[in-house]
Amino acid sequence: MTTPIETTQLGHAVSAPASPADATLDRVPNPHVGTLYLARFTVPEFTSLCPVTGQPDFAHLVIDYVARDWLVESKSLKLYLTSFRNHGAFHEDCTVGIGKTLVERLDPVWLRIGGYWYPRGGIPIDVFWQTGVPPEGLWLPDQGVPTYRGRG
């Protein structure tokens, strides 16, 4: 018996959600349950709003996870992340909140997220969160985003 695909957005015209709370993260069955592999999503143009000033904040996000039974459907992930464009939250809240939301929806073996935020007020803020120690034997490449150097 195959597990049904749980998608509400794939193959349909869907507007961007107004906020992360309004977004739906669809999931699809992992075709390789029990296989140790890493899935990576790189989001080089993530945006949100400063909750104090309303000014835009920009980040490069890297999401790595080891699936258990479910994979996140990429169109729904894109729409979920797009919903932050008009959402006011600090860098730490965005980064950790996205990671926790994915964990809640997917129940992965392991997940980490790196939020590489561009400077505001002259200070870049990088935020990193993971669910625990990576599984033994996992090929875990560097996230590939250099720390901010400015003009140096």
Confirm whether 69 is a catalytic residue. Answer: no
Q: CATH no. for residue 116?
A: 3.30.1130.10
Active-site entry in 26, 57, 64, 94: 57
Return the closest-CA partner of residue 68 out of 40, 98, 103. 103
Q: Each residue of 101-138: pLDDT tens digit?
A: 999 999 999 999 999 999 988 888 999 999 999 999 99
pLDDT at residue 121 in the model: 81
Residue 79's domain comprises 31-130
Give the number of domains in the chain.
1
22 within some domain: no
**69 has pLDDT over 90:** yes
Residue 78 lies in a domain: yes
d(CA 74, CA 124): 28
Instruction: Indicate which residue of 22, 26, 50, 69 is catalytic.
Output: 50
SS3 80: helix
Q: What is the 3-state secondary structure (H, E, C) of 95-108?
A: HHHHHHHHHHHHCC
Residue 57 is among the residues annotated as catalytic for this protein: yes
Is 49 contained in some domain?
yes
Please state the pTM of the whole predicted model: 0.92
In a domain, 150, yes or no: no
Q: Does the pLDDT of residue 74 top 60, yes or no?
A: yes
- Domain-embedded: residue 9: no
**β pairing state of 56-66 and 110-117:** antiparallel
* Averaged confidence pLDDT in the chain: 92
The whole-number pLDDT of residue 1 equals 45
Residue 115 placed within a domain = yes
Q: Are strands 110-117 and 39-49 parallel, antiparallel or unpaired?
A: unpaired
